[in-house]
Chains A and B, each alone.
Chain A
Amino acid sequence: GQQLNQSPQSMFIQEGEDVSMNCTSSSIFNTWLWYKQDPGEGPVLLIALYKAGELTSNGRLTAQFGITRKDSFLNISASIPSDVGIYFCAGRYLTQGGSEKLVFGKGTKLTVNP
């Protein structure tokens, strides 16, 4: 089945630093999504990307849909303590049966030291 390789698995940074994480796959996706999950909560959508090459920002977050449609990255600028959490990439694809599904990366756990 479809698989996403998300890296790094974890990051420990100082407040104010920039962060970069990415997802790659051998499969093509028609949508890339980035979610954040806080402890004890469900994932919350941060950014959605719909076209190859698309670059989208949401405040201090910037994400890009790779031109090959097989990868995406998420950057966080000037990190703050509330950025702590687990970040997931997700790719949407069409199955052979015609249903649309999301596959998730394993997540990047971000720790921000004040």
Chain B
Amino acid sequence: LAKTTQPISMDSYEGQEVNITCSHNNIATNDYITWYQQFPSQGPRFIIQGYKTKVTNEVASLFIPADRKSSTLSLPRVSLSDTAVYYCLVGEGPGQTGANNLFFGTGTRLTVIP
């Protein structure tokens, strides 16, 4: 089971780009990397998923180096509404039967400051 390590918390000012790095040294060949966002008293919400190199959607970018032992979630120009906890998960790819992607760590608490 690929465990992940993230910073416990981060602060950023509004309008800045925020990069949250996740370490996953034991990532397996079939593992994907998925990030979720959670607001207080709400369930987590999917942000982005990737396997290698770079993935970008309307919310964020995900950078994965060639060795895949880490990944970086990039949030461009954060606003106060981006204050949340961000979770990095690593697990088997689509179609697999295991449940290795079902373990959330403690996440990174991002606080955006006015």
Do these two chains really belong together in a complex?
no
| Interface, chain B (partner A; CB < 8 A) | none
Q: Which residues of A contact B (CB under 8 A)?
A: none
